[in-house]
Amino acid sequence: MTIDFVITWVDNEDPEWQAAFQRWLPATTEGLDVSEPRYRNWHMLRYWFRGVELYAPWVRKIHFITNGQLPKWLNTSNPKLHVVKHSDILPADALPCFSSHPLELNIHRIEGLAEHFVYFNDDTFLTAHITPDSFFHGDKPVDMAITKPKDNANVQINDIIKNDLRLLNSRYKKWQVMLRNPRQWFNPCYKGFLKLTFQSLTDKVFEGFLDPHVPQPYKRSVLEEVWKQFPKELDETTHSRFRSNEDISQWMFRYWQLASGEFHPEYVYHHHAVFFSPQEQWDEMADTVKLQKAKTVTVNDTERITDFKAFAKKTQDLFAERLTQPSSFEK
């Protein structure tokens, strides 16, 4: 199977980017998320490329989405690298863009993108050998169909997910979906997470899903199908320059894959480790990277990190110890 990787990246330390950000920032930011952790540069990108080359040499192409910024060390002549500018996938009147949502919704417009691809945020790294069947089983993306009750912990994220679910529920009936493919929804491989599904059984519609912050496998045709179903709503987010609680997110595509049965059930945490509070979880994260306890590691950015530059350097050193050799993606 041909599989591509897609990753988005921005350098918030670029003076030109900073000036454009301030120029386009609305006078009022109510309903927007323009917090620093959404943009700040951990200087970890080279370790992402090193991990891909060392642990997933089977990937066909890496589509690197950027507004035109390029790290000085990046070897753009590498035949596996496809640099994708925002202007390649977004309409002119949606530029400039300072949100990942419009980019994620338009990944299927990347020229030459394979039908099967894995979407990475730039905070998720390969740290051990991984095979294609960790992402796709046969023709289907590997995933977990875990429903859960409403989550009011993060107001904006919850609003965005509600927008996704509103669209999903307009096309799919929860119980028809679950009864049509019960083994996808009540699979013992999900282990303790099944309790979330049982806790939400009385909900007549999909109120929420477990959303693992891990590399997400997709089928390009699914993105195209969702666009056919909701062109107006997705176009509105495409023209949303800053992350807004009115947005539709890329989770909409994942939810569609789950509801349509276009996935293979598997416990994804066999392969992936996620650290939502990396500073507080440092010892566990360091052991996971050093001892290769997981195939991918997500280092979530959060406002709770104190002395960010020092902690980012500490994290760089951790990954440099695991990924010592420069990759062919580096000059």
Query: For a pLDDT cut of 70, what percent of the chain falls above it?
Result: 98
Contact 65, 6 (CB under 8 A): yes
Q: CA-CA distance, 52 to 132, in Å (whole number)? A: 12
pLDDT at 66: 98
Integer Rg of the chain from CA: 19
pLDDT at 152: 55
pLDDT at 238: 98
Beginning with the edge strand found earlier in the chain, give each strand of the sheet holding 264-265 in spatial order.
136-137, 140-143, 264-265
**DSSP single-letter state for residue 231:** H
Asked if the model's pLDDT at residue 282 lies above 60, the reply is yes
pLDDT at 150: 74
pLDDT at 80: 98
Q: What mean pLDDT comes out for the span 266-279?
A: 96
pTM as predicted: 0.96
Residue 118 pLDDT grade (very low, low, confident, very high; cuts 50, 70, 90): very high
Asked if the model's pLDDT at residue 151 lies above 90, the reply is no
pLDDT tens, 70-116? 999 999 999 999 999 999 999 999 999 999 999 999 999 999 999 99
| Measured CA angle at 315 (ends 313, 320), to 5 deg | 90
Residue with tokens 């023709």: 139
Q: What mean pLDDT comes out for the span 284-303?
A: 97
Q: How far is CA 293 from CA 45, 106, 131, 272, 289, in A?
A: 21, 34, 15, 9, 7
pLDDT tens, 188-198? 999 999 999 99
Average pLDDT, the chain: 96
| Measured CA angle at 148 (ends 147, 149), to 5 deg | 140
pLDDT at 234: 98
Domains and CATH numbers, the chain: 3-322 (3.90.550)
Asked if the model's pLDDT at residue 323 lies above 90, the reply is yes
Which tokens in the block code for residue 252? 């909409």
pLDDT tens, 245-264? 999 999 999 999 999 999 99
Residue 161 pLDDT grade (very low, low, confident, very high; cuts 50, 70, 90): very high
Q: At what angle do helices 220-229 and 231-238 cross, to 10 degrees?
A: 110
pLDDT tens, 169-227? 999 999 999 999 999 999 999 999 999 999 999 999 999 999 999 999 999 999 999 99
pLDDT at 158: 84
Residue 153 pLDDT grade (very low, low, confident, very high; cuts 50, 70, 90): low
pLDDT at 146: 97
